[in-house]
Amino acid sequence: MSHGPLQGRVAIVTGGGRGIGAAIALRLACDGARVAIGDVVSDAARDRARAIREAGGTAHGDHLDVTDTSSVTAFVDEVLQREGRVDILVNNAGIAGTIASLAEYPEEIWRRVFEVNVHGVFRCSRAVLPAMVRAGYGRIVNVASVSGKEGLPILMPPYGASKAAVIALTKNMGRELASTGVLVNCITPAGVPSTGFMDWSNVPPRLVESSPAIPMGRWCDPDEVAAMVAWLVSDECSFSTGAVFDISGGRSTY
């Protein structure tokens, strides 16, 4: 695992213990990065890091609550003390919320979705940027969603709204940091059924049936998302920032 294109790089993956985040963490480690996995479920982060180490990679897992500034600061500070640098941040932590109409949506859940999906990106990015800017190098990838472009066919209004905010934040970060050596991009996957994101047993049949809306006729695989992220955080990605990279099987082509 130690001789790939990310050899010598240090990466943080939020929400990296499960689902898409776990796939991203493994791929970056396979490409040679030393990966710090943060997850609000501490055991998931540590288990994923252990599995990566057993496979020959370098990884450390610990508790990270992206809704808590002190937790974010402590996590990033610990990585900087242990590794001396942070080259890559993948803002993957996210939640779906519940299924309800806007008129009936619980305000506390609405706020929670934005705390994780949007404010978490802000907190984690703010924590790593001073070190990246000083080094003159950084790669930040924000995991948004195709729902941030075109909404959802089911009743999850804060999810689509929060992912649209992530897209807008990415564009602003990319422009602000364009001359610093820190590149900021986001990805917009279509449906990726994964552990930890939501309780799929409660999803209405029309969402399950919506995969035909994806021209490829299937869901996205977490490893496919990880492959796109791996390129975006590599040196090969050198002239794209503030950009939105689609990975939706043809569902969204803009």
CATH of the domain at 46: 3.40.50.720
Sign, Cα dihedral of 71, 2, 187, 215: negative
CA distance 252 to 231: 20
CA distance 9 to 59: 12
Query: Is 47 domain-assigned?
Result: yes
* Partners of 175 in beta bridges: none
pLDDT level of residue 248 (50, 70, 90 thresholds): confident
Q: Are 35 and 233 in contact (CB under 8 A)?
A: no
Structure letter (DSSP) for residue 2: T
Contact 36, 25 (CB under 8 A): no
Within-domain flag for 35: yes
Does some domain include residue 179?
yes
Within-domain flag for 113? yes
**What is the structure's pLDDT at 154?**
67
CA-CA distance, 159 to 182, in Å (whole number)?
A: 27
Higher pLDDT, 45 or 205: 45
pTM score of the predicted model:
0.92
**For the residues 58-64, what does the mean pLDDT come to?**
98
Closest CA to 141 of 3, 223, 21: 21
Q: Identify whether 167 is part of a domain.
A: yes
Query: Has residue 208 been placed in a domain?
Result: yes
Phi, psi of 24 (to 5 degrees): -65, -45
pLDDT value at residue 132: 98
107-162: per-residue pLDDT in tens? 999 999 999 999 999 999 999 999 999 999 999 999 999 988 887 766 789 999 99
- Predicted pLDDT of residue 175: 98
Catalytic position from the list 105, 137, 159, 254: 159
Q: What is the pLDDT of residues 170-198, one digit of tens each?
A: 999 999 999 999 999 999 998 776 655 55
* Higher-pLDDT residue of 196, 168: 168
Name the domain count of the chain.
1
Q: What are phi and psi of 192, to 5 degrees?
A: -130, 85
254 is catalytic: no
State which residues form the domain around 193: 10-247
Record the tokens describing residue 174, joined without a space. 């990319």
Q: Quick check: is 253 in a domain?
A: no
Give pLDDT, residue 251. Answer: 72
Residue 5, domain member (yes or no):
no
For residue 12, list its beta bridge partners: 36, 89
